A and B are shown apart, each in its own frame.
Chain A
Amino acid sequence: MKKLRKLYIGLIMAFLYAPILLLILYSFNNSKSRAQWGGFTLRWYRELFADEAIMAALGTTLSIGLLAALLSTVLGTMGAVALFQMKRTPRKALLSIVNLPMLNSEVVTGVSLMLLFAAANIQLGYGTMLMAHVAFCVPYVVLSVMPKLRQLDPNLAEAAWDLGATPWQGFFRVILPDIMPGVFSGFIMALTMSIDDFVVSFFTTGSGVSNLSITIYTMAKRGISPKINALSTIIFACVFILLIGINMQDFKKDPRSKDKVEQVRIPY
């Protein structure tokens, strides 16, 4: 039975990783065709960095990701604190608004933002894409900061204010450090969402600005360049090493026996 269970997990892993391993393999393939193996090469890795279109798309993806994550983290954290201080009824109302983009499908979010920009007569491009990304990332930040606020000891901040701290000092010196883990995981989540996004970007960009997802989508019709495979392999390797590094401590222990470790939430 135990072998059977391990075999099952193995099969699922094979299903999940087969296309990824194939992609990595193709990134070293000395042939443009997907059908044949033309020998090992690093050519695509060299050419990748000379490809201006891909590099521009990568730049857009990363800069929008970082900016959107940063802005939505600030906005979302402020929002979470504000929500926390509200009375029950307005909080409930506002929370259901916050949840809407998460309940809505991406298509609806993308389309609705596109209509908004069109109505406001804003030229679609980098700015609109950034605004759209901030718009759909905020709820994730709010939802990851809220639980931390609930765990907060309200007396601590009260004490700070009683001892003469200004409201902002109290916020920055007492509340913020305590909710920092939630803020951080909200940031990471927003970054992931933004970098991986295709649908919303597709509807809210224009005038030649495209991120990696859009570039890949456009390429998919003609055939994806092995350079993209090379780039994805690099990104995948970086994330893999980063995650292993962060979690080294975690993996050594059985999570059932240890104290609650800080959990990072991902949007799923």
Chain B
Amino acid sequence: MRKNKALAVPFILWAVLFVVVPLAMIVWYGVTVDEPVPCTEVLLDDGTIGYELEDGTIVDTKPWQKKAVISLSNFKRMIEPTYLRLLLRSLKIAVITTLICLLLGYPVALILTGKDFKRPALWLMLLVLPMWMNFLLRTYSWMSILENSGILNNWIASLRDAIPAFDSWLTNMGVRRKIIFLYNENAVILGMVYNYLSFMIMPIYTVIEKIDKNLLEAAADLGANPVKSFLRVTLPYSMPGVMEGITMVFVPAVTTFVISQLMGGGKVPLIGDIIQNQFGKSSDWHFGSTLSLLVMVVVLAFMGALGHIDKDEDPVKEVRIL
């Protein structure tokens, strides 16, 4: 193909300006802290108080600008138990979410690629369709199902009234009239599983669908039962999809700050919440950047462990939605 260098210019500009520079800024903010401009109070001739800067100039008002100084103090702060505990909790919740998504999602992909459904494309579309409704709204809707006077509690209550045996059984089990579903870790996990399940199903489906059916037939011809041919053919061949799915669920799960705020009601803060806070209310951009760096490293380490990096020159993620 004849080269057209002009095409590359805007693209490279984009890459530098919107990818490289912002990341460099996070690194810079992460390794620096704000320090007030050093000055000493001096009594001026007219009796008021002035401020003498390092270079000897005297100003009337206290200099408000701060200057960034390279310091690792935010890294020290980051490994304080408070923040480490938050990071561990984020990791724990993300791992549990990913496992549940895998356990729920793999069978879905497997069944849809099987012979049970005549129109798998339609079913797949139905699986993705919920994603077109704003995810905040969907999560919020879960809250109205699960809240104390929500639908689920109402149903359970009316079931209890209708069936006394059920009521006494629940009472014996120590279940309260109003079950508290929301505002704990389980609620956050539910919210994440709900939001990210499709991310797991799609890549696995795509990979399983592409497995050469002759392989399965050959396995059957050679005497493998369905379980064995699943374990020896389908499962190993679907691993790339599984890895992709794990990444697609794990990365947002580690860093989300919305689901934990809604489903956790602020009681289950995750590392993402702290980052958001640093750029909002607390307004400590330096510490926020340090935490962002931490999250980036965690995510990259995770992907490295999964063998995602540098395996393929152009990782193309193909998924059908339509």
Contacts and interface: CB of A to CB of B under 8 A. Distances in A.
B42 to A, nearest CB: 33
Interface in B204-226: 209, 213
A177 interface: no
A146 B133 contact: no
B11 A113 contact: no
Contact of A106 (B127, B252, B300): B252
Contact residue range for chain B?
A: 35 or more
A50 interface: no
DSSP class of B's interface residues: helix, strand, loop or mixed?
Answer: helix
Interface in A92-108: 92, 94-95, 97-101, 103-108
DSSP class of A's interface residues: helix, strand, loop or mixed?
Answer: helix
A246 B129 CA distance: 14
Interface in B24-56: 25-26, 29
Interface string B59-96: 00000000000000000000000000000000000000
Nearest to B320: A263
A29 B192 CA distance: 28
A266 B322 CA distance: 9
Given A157-B2, A167-B4, A220 B140 contact: yes
Contacts of A85: 1, 3-4, 7-8
Nearest to A264: B322
A135 B23 CA distance: 13
A34 B209 CA distance: 42
Nearest to B126: A13
A239 B285 CA distance: 39
Contacts of A94: 12, 15
A17 interface: yes
Contact of B29 (A34, A107, A115, A255): A115
Given A106-B252, A216-B136, A23 B141 contact: yes
Interface in A205-259: 212-213, 216-217, 220, 224, 228-229, 232, 235-236, 239-240, 243, 246-247, 250-252, 254-256
A119 interface: yes
Given A157-B2, A167-B2, A268 B138 contact: no
A70 interface: no
Interface string B264-300: 0000000010011001000001001100100110011
A158 interface: yes
Contacts of A86: 8
Given A22-B151, A105-B255, A105-B295, A239 B22 contact: no
A65 interface: no
A81 B142 CA distance: 44
Nearest to B254: A105
A155 to B, nearest CB: 10
Contact of B26 (A22, A76, A81, A111): A111
Given A107-B272, A146-B316, A268-B202, A20 B26 contact: no
Contact residue range for chain A?
A: 35 or more
B8 A147 contact: no
B194 interface: yes
A115 B303 contact: no
Contact of B144 (A13, A22, A131, A247): A22
Interface string A1-23: 01001101100110111111011
A119 B255 CA distance: 24
A247 B25 contact: no
Among A22, A34, A76, A99, find the residue whose CB has the most chain B CB atoms closer than 10 A. A34
A78 interface: yes
Interface stretch (B113-121, B165-173, B176-184, B227-235): B113-121
Given A78-B10, A94-B15, A108-B296, 10 more contacts: A34-B150, A79-B11, A108-B292, A112-B26, A143-B314, A158-B1, A220-B140, A247-B125, A250-B121, A265-B320
Interface of B: 1-5, 7-8, 10-12, 14-15, 17-23, 25-26, 29, 104, 107-108, 111-112, 114, 116-123, 125-142, 144-145, 149-151, 194, 197-199, 202-203, 209, 213, 248, 251-252, 254-255, 257-258, 262, 272, 275-276, 279, 285, 288-289, 292, 295-296, 299-300, 303, 313-322
- What are the 7 tightest A-B residue pairs by CB atom distance, in nearest-first order? A79-B11, A112-B22, A19-B141, A82-B8, A105-B255, A135-B18, A115-B25
23 contacts: A8-B107, A8-B111, A16-B127, A19-B138, A20-B130, A20-B138, A86-B8, A95-B314, A97-B19, A105-B272, A107-B272, A111-B288, A112-B22, A135-B18, A147-B318, A161-B2, A167-B2, A203-B279, A213-B136, A236-B129, A247-B322, A252-B119, A266-B321
